[in-house]
Structure 1
């Protein structure tokens, strides 16, 4: 890890209080088991580590988004919806409809989750550019669609190969969406000319790859025990017929490669001569924010009970 720790946002206590008030107001964690899993996840800590400089209001909003992501994840990975393709697709359709601004339906499974996503989405869209909205909508939709893909794999008793999974994981970890959200945290909205640059897209892709692989490494034992196969360590283990420790080391080597690619893309982007000075400053600020996501995600997995206990 080439980046020194950025530390935790000092507004973490206020953000966690606001996050739990939001969770309780929307009835997102009313049963004891779900609430305990969410406490172990420390969503507020994750937000505070990846966005260490934003104000309390924005940090609270990011903590709510992070908690929402954990709730959705647990709904499919541990719950019955992740083994029932029709119900899974129904809920994903409801959540995706929020991004499209479609009228409310009569949700069978996801009423609270849908209300939560609508609340989060409506709080961030005003004032953002069409380019940012398009990016966040695309990346949120891609994240949600991975649950349908994994449920279909479970029903068919199928697992992807390593190369296929890498692209899937880039979306399923919601790393690209998180980068969109953090751009809003630092109040930067880059022009479309930057968003279309190959170096910019590579920068974001390798950051998301690293975030997803880090999560896979630290959750490998827990997910192996649960029989959950959509994990790079598990797929390397099956592909190369090795034990879990050897597979984790090989996954870690892949993560190191992603980090080198990230740094190369960052250098190429910021050395480009075609960007106006103000735009280059904003791009550099975003690149630093992405570094904080990478380092904060790494530190989070060492601290959160959801991963540390294993």
Structure 2
């Protein structure tokens, strides 16, 4: 285990029982959308995994589409499939930077980053991309482009730019932060808002609802804070439920690792501190939301709808994080992982056969 203080694949820990007050909902077409998206994305995944339909099937079993259905439960019907079709290509974009031969190699990471940025430029400009062999790039372009045709030009530009930002951070993420290390929690959280696709998925909330809050988000600090708190909750929940997998493989971009490494906390204290932060972020969001709803901005139906959907972002991501094989391994049953005593174990990555 690479630089993970005091943690081995046999380390035991107690997973806290994280409660949430914000309501949970699920898109009424979830089962249909998961099936349709799986059919659409399967050829791309098979090609990406060197012709292996079994690895493609395994990737789909992470149920990333479910994440979209529980985080955007009020997605308009005219874009429901278009929206969820972006879920797996976005995840694949992230995972492609940890592919063997890419991760840990600055030159390879930079080449991959540049391929994505070129693909995004061609997609935004509507010009052909000559890099036809770039499977993950094609999947990203051919999922995002149809969605941008259903949203306003300012929101589409924000979405493309959010993608550029997250891909631009991949160099630091995939090469081990050697040139720009994270040494405190505040810096960590700021950086993760970008490189965990925080602003991308926040933009998708507007896409889902057929609204454009470009101006209100730029001019109303409380509204921007509500968005950032939703992103922060996603980051921290993901850290809680993915840390055992990440620490077992030597990944260090996790709040628990930051607390252990730079605040000298034992593993269990770091876990418990993270759980308290998760609860605190939800409380801060509800306070911010209620303040907004009681203000003049709260009379705007688009802002009210946005705040409601951000609340589902909290509950939906927590629901997904408890039951995805992405965090807990292929042998996870359909039952969510339960609070209580668990053991750190090595969990295969998407590229492990």
| Normalised-by-shorter TM-score class | 0.7 to 0.9
Alignment correspondent of 1:21: 39
Q: Give the Cα–Cα distance (whole angstroms) in 1 for the partners of residues 325 and 215 of structure 2.
A: 40
Higher relative contact order (CA 8 A, sep 6+): 2
SS at structure 2 position matched to 1:81: coil
Alignment correspondent of 2:56: 35
Q: Tell me by how many angstroms 1:73 deviates.
A: 2.4
User: TM-score by structure 2 length?
Assistant: 0.78
Q: Tell me by how many angstroms 1:284 deviates.
A: 0.6
Equivalent in 219, 224, 227 of residue 250 of structure 2: 227
Change (3 A) 1:193 1:87: same
Equivalent in 191, 214, 220 of residue 197 of structure 1: 220
User: TM-score by structure 1 length?
Assistant: 0.88
Superposed CA offset, 1:110-142 (max 9, x none): 711111121122112224223312322232222
Alignment correspondent of 1:84: 105
Alignment correspondent of 2:262: 239
Q: Give the Cα–Cα distance (whole angstroms) in 1 for the partners of residues 180 and 150 of structure 2.
A: 45
Q: Give the Cα–Cα distance (whole angstroms) in 2 for the partners of residues 135 and 303 of structure 1.
A: 31
- Checking the alignment, whether the CA contact within 8 Å between 1:199 and 1:269 is kept in structure 2 is yes
Q: How many residues align?
A: 305
Alignment correspondent of 2:199: 176
Q: Over aligned residue pairs, what C-alpha RMSD do you find?
A: 2.6
Within 5 Å, give how 1:82-231 maps onto structure 2.
82-100=103-121, 101=124, 103-104=127-128, 106-107=130-131, 111-154=134-177, 158-190=181-213, 192-231=215-254
Q: Give the Cα–Cα distance (whole angstroms) in 2 for the partners of residues 69 and 48 of structure 1.
A: 15
Q: Give the Cα–Cα distance (whole angstroms) in 2 for the partners of residues 133 and 33 of structure 1.
A: 34
Give structure 1 regions of 4+ aligned residues with deviation exceeding 4 angstroms: 102-106, 154-160
Alignment correspondent of 1:296: 316
Equivalent in 66, 72, 80 of residue 59 of structure 1: 80
Change (3 A) 1:237 1:40: farther
Q: Give the Cα–Cα distance (whole angstroms) in 2 for the partners of residues 196 and 241 of structure 1.
A: 39
Q: Tell me by how many angstroms 1:145 deviates.
A: 1.9
Q: Tell me by how many angstroms 1:78 deviates.
A: 4.8
- Checking the alignment, whether the CA contact within 8 Å between 2:30 and 2:69 is kept in structure 1 is yes
Equivalent in 266, 277, 284 of residue 289 of structure 2: 266
Alignment correspondent of 2:95: 74
Alignment correspondent of 2:307: 287
SS at structure 2 position matched to 1:52: coil
Alignment correspondent of 2:70: 49
- Checking the alignment, whether the CA contact within 8 Å between 1:14 and 1:56 is kept in structure 2 is no
SS at structure 1 position matched to 2:102: helix
SS at structure 2 position matched to 1:83: coil
Q: Which has the higher helix share?
A: 1
Change (3 A) 1:78 1:139: same
- Checking the alignment, whether the CA contact within 8 Å between 1:38 and 1:71 is kept in structure 2 is no
Alignment correspondent of 1:4: 23
Deviates more, 1:148-157 or 1:57-66: 148-157
Q: Tell me by how many angstroms 1:204 deviates.
A: 0.8
- Checking the alignment, whether the CA contact within 8 Å between 1:38 and 1:70 is kept in structure 2 is no
Q: Tell me by how many angstroms 1:59 deviates.
A: 3.1
Q: For structure 1, list consecutive stretches of 5 or more residues without a partner in the other structure.
A: none
Q: Give the Cα–Cα distance (whole angstroms) in 2 for the partners of residues 119 and 144 of structure 1.
A: 17
Q: Give the Cα–Cα distance (whole angstroms) in 2 for the partners of residues 72 and 160 of structure 1.
A: 26
Change (3 A) 1:98 1:31: same
